[in-house]
Amino acid sequence: MLTQRNSRNRPLRKTLPVIMATVLLTSCGGNDMSDLKNYVKTTKERQKGTVSPLPEVKSIEPFIFKTEDVRDPFIQSEKSEQTEEAKASNGIRPDTARPREELETYELDTLRMVGTLNQNNVLWGLVKAVDGTIHRIRTGNYMGRNFGKIIRIREGQIELLEIIPDGLGGWRERKAAVDLTEGASGKR
């Protein structure tokens, strides 16, 4: 008997909370929608914006390219051949016949000036190579891989004149310098 009674009440147990929630929700709200109506009214009364017209499109006159007065970039002219020859023959070129000095086997940026030495009124520069060897050089010696001839030695700097390729088959000169490194002993 108990089982029959429980089975009859099951649908009622499920639908009763739904019915009660519906009754509560409809009775609480009321019909006061005056705030919403006022908001819609003020929104509609606002002044409507205007869209500015599109700018006027300017017509561009076509450019007519005339090839009669222009040289062909793929054909080398006699004038440019002469200027390249003049650049290549500016008289600057390294002396490849002279024997290479020991410091010419190093890149210039790997050499460090560590001091100077004044011996019999000749100022010598002291240069340290990557391998830790200290070399004694003077004006007229060469160092670095770009045929760098030493033109002046000062207390804190060695000045060179390098001969480098100019990219057009010729050579040009460039000044370079090796400064005295910090912590070096300086003059002796």
Work out the number of other CB atoms within 10 angstroms of the CB of residue 186.
13
Indicate the number of domains in the chain. Answer: 1
Predicted local distance difference test score (pLDDT) of residue 132: 92
* pLDDT tens-digit series, residues 143-167: 999 999 999 999 999 999 999 998 8
Residue 77 falls inside a structural domain:
no
Tokens standing for residue 127: 């240069």
Distance CA 144, CA 99 (A): 14
The residues, any chain, with a CB within 8 Å of residue 176's CB and separated by 6 or more, are 108, 144, 146, 148, 159, 160, 161, 162
- Whether 49 maps to a domain, the answer reads no
pTM: predicted TM-score of the whole model, two decimal places: 0.51
CA atoms within 13 A on the CB side of 87: 14
Give the domain range for residue 123.
102-187
The structure tokens listed for 92 are 């600057």
For residue 169, give the nearest of 94, 85, 91, 77 by alpha carbon: 85
Residue 187, pLDDT score? 44
Whether 167 is in a domain gets the answer: yes
Q: Residue 94 domain-assigned?
A: no
96 inside domain: no
Residue 163's pLDDT is what?
93
Q: Is residue 17 part of a domain?
A: no
CB atoms within 10 A of CB 103: 20
- Does 90 map to a domain? no
CB 148 within 8 A of CB 142: yes
CATH for 115: 2.30.30.830
Exposed e or buried b per residue across 15-41, where buried means at least 16 C-beta atoms within 10 angstroms of its C-beta: eeeeeeeeeeeeeeeeeeeeeeeeeee
Question: Averaged in consecutive runs of 10 residues, what is the pLDDT profile of the chain (188 residues)?
Answer: 56 78 67 84 83 88 80 70 56 89 93 92 93 94 94 94 89 92 55
Looking at residue 51, what DSSP letter applies? P
Between CA 113 and CA 120 the distance in angstroms is 21
84 falls within a domain: no
Q: For the chain, what is the mean pLDDT?
A: 82
